[in-house]
Chains A and B, each alone.
Chain A
Amino acid sequence: MPARLRPTIFAVLLTSTVPVAAAELTVAVASNFVKPLEAMAPVFAAAAGHQLKLSTGATGKFYAQIQRGAPFDVFLSADEKRPALLESEGRTVAGSRFVYAIGRLALWRPEPGQAVRPDMLTADPATRIAIANPKTAPYGAAAEAVIAHLGLTEALKARLVQGENIAQTYQFVATGNAAMGFVAWSQVSRDGAAASGSAWLVPADLHPPIRQSAVILTRAADNPAAHAFAAFLKSEAARKIIQQHGYDTE
């Protein structure tokens, strides 16, 4: 090695081993869970001294990006499938996968103070009903199951519009382009009641549970902040915030 390179390499080594005392943690989070996570971030920062940096997006896209080395430390998925796949591919810290929240589905319309019942789905055949894409979004698959359970699959077939994710589904209804939509209870409720518009909380036994898993990714194996955050997500304080935002916990 040329002698003149040594100081440079030394400097690089020095800066790459910054102490992790107050680390920054990059979290890839499914769009539906952004709000509770934002509410949790200051609590976590106060308790553990680590800052969260949030990347929000669709679970499938994150999966593809993580496979190609995206710089995330923790992945909060909207489903169980993608974290399990990443685990089987050896991209996660062994034993770090757990269910952090169980999503609830709501039938929602933007006008406040109105009754919302499943029989209203067929009330006006001229209107659209929004669901998330059942093929790619867990809330969409759940909505499809509910519609099937209600025996309305054929009746609603021509009236369904699909959002790419649950945020877009909400947007379709909020802008009045669809009369009603199956959205995440977490999007429209606070502390167990509809916070905007009017909603029917779909009974959990009408669809397969929307279990959302988290994993620590291999690049954060030696990052104590990642492990601290995973532990925090399972804590009573975090679970309370998660429930306030319209999710069940295990």
Chain B
Amino acid sequence: MTPTPADLDAIWLTLRLAGTVTVLLLLLGTPLAWWLAHSRARWRGVVNALVALPLILPPTVLGFYLLVALGPDGPLGQLTRSIGLGALPFTFAGLVVGSLIYSLPFVVQPIRDAFIAIGPRPLEVAATLGARPLDAFFSVVLPLARPGFLTATVLGFAHTVGEFGVVLMIGGNIPGETRVVAIQIYDHVEALEYAQAHWLAGGLLLFSFAVLLALHTLNDRQARR
């Protein structure tokens, strides 16, 4: 049994989605994680709870609200249309937006915890040595927080690869645009194409295991140093 062109399309699309989402989440999530680690604002708890919400919400809830909010009559849909982006459901960009929310805690939380673990001391030392804050962040904090960033990158990527419910709700199953691997597997099962389903599902299982194994090995090595 070999993969069909449609299977390969779905794999490529999934990797593109997960890659885009991971890069964006690292860019957006790092300042947020920094703020969560250092702010004393009273509503920090609220933001922490909001960030963690996708962990416990059923993806169908998230997907349903996204479908309503991003739709042409929804508040976000009117915004995206007024700035010329059109309606986002059933588009790759729509999946990116959904996945950003869905995978947010998997990226922000490890980075935040790494920042907290570093504590204020290294930054104070860097400041005494004359490093400006941004310089200190890149040459002191980032290297120290590397395990956190590694975990965030791997989990953010893998979690987006494994996304199903949100895509099902806002994707519309369009080949090459929104039909990711998880949807393709679902379709194979629904169409009784169990051999094809096995091929993709087994691949996803192996991929997920390999990714987590690599993460733990790397983090262990880091910890022993």
Interface of A toward B, CB cutoff 8 Å: 58-61, 63-64, 85, 128, 130, 133, 135-136, 160-164, 168, 171-172, 175-177
> CB-CB < 8 A to A161: which residues of B?
90, 172-174
> CB-CB < 8 A to B89: which residues of A?
172, 177
Q: Among B72, B169, B186, B189, which residue has its beta carbon within 8 angstroms of that of A176?
A: B72
Cα-based distance from A26 to B68 in the complex (angstroms): 33
| Distance of B91 from chain A, by nearest CB (Å) | 10
Q: Among A64, A160, A177, which residue has its beta carbon within 8 angstroms of that of B67?
A: A177
20 A-B residue pairs with Cβ-Cβ distance under 8 Å, sorted by A, are A61-B190, A64-B189, A85-B192, A133-B173, A133-B187, A133-B190, A135-B187, A135-B190, A162-B174, A163-B172, A164-B190, A168-B168, A172-B67, A175-B67, A175-B71, A175-B73, A176-B73, A177-B71, A177-B72, A177-B87
Cα-based distance from A162 to B183 in the complex (angstroms): 12
> CB-CB < 8 A to B70: which residues of A?
177
The verdict on B210 contacting chain A, using a C-beta distance below 8 Å, is no
Q: Among B169, B190, B192, which residue has its beta carbon within 8 angstroms of that of A58?
A: B190
Cα-based distance from A61 to B191 in the complex (angstroms): 9
Q: Is the CB of A135 within 8 A of B72?
A: no
Size bin of chain B's contact surface: 20 to 34
Q: Can you list, as one digit per residue, whether each of B175-192 has a CB less than 8 Å from chain A (1) or not (0)? A: 000000000001101111
Given contacts A60-B190, A162-B174, 14 further A-B pairs with CB under 8 A are A59-B190, A60-B189, A61-B189, A63-B192, A133-B173, A133-B190, A135-B190, A136-B190, A161-B174, A163-B173, A171-B67, A175-B68, A176-B71, A176-B72
Q: Among B73, B90, B187, B190, which residue has its beta carbon within 8 angstroms of that of A128?
A: B90
Cα-based distance from A60 to B71 in the complex (angstroms): 29
Cα-based distance from A60 to B189 in the complex (angstroms): 7
Q: Can you list, as one digit per residue, whether each of B60-102 has a CB less than 8 Å from chain A (1) or not (0)? A: 0000000110111110000000000001011000000000000
Determine chain B's interface SS by DSSP, over half rule. loop
Interchain residue pairs A-B with the least CB separation, the first 5: A161-B172, A60-B190, A136-B190, A162-B173, A177-B71
Q: Is the CB of A135 within 8 A of B191?
A: yes
| Distance of B164 from chain A, by nearest CB (Å) | 11
Q: Is the CB of B174 within 8 A of A60?
A: no
| Distance of B188 from chain A, by nearest CB (Å) | 9
Q: Is the CB of A172 within 8 A of B172?
A: yes
Q: Is the CB of B172 within 8 A of A162?
A: yes
Q: Is the CB of B186 within 8 A of A164?
A: yes
CB within 8 Å of A: which B15-43 residues: none
**Residue of B at shortest CB range from A158?**
B174
Q: Is the CB of B168 within 8 A of A177?
A: no
Q: Is the CB of A177 within 8 A of B90?
A: yes
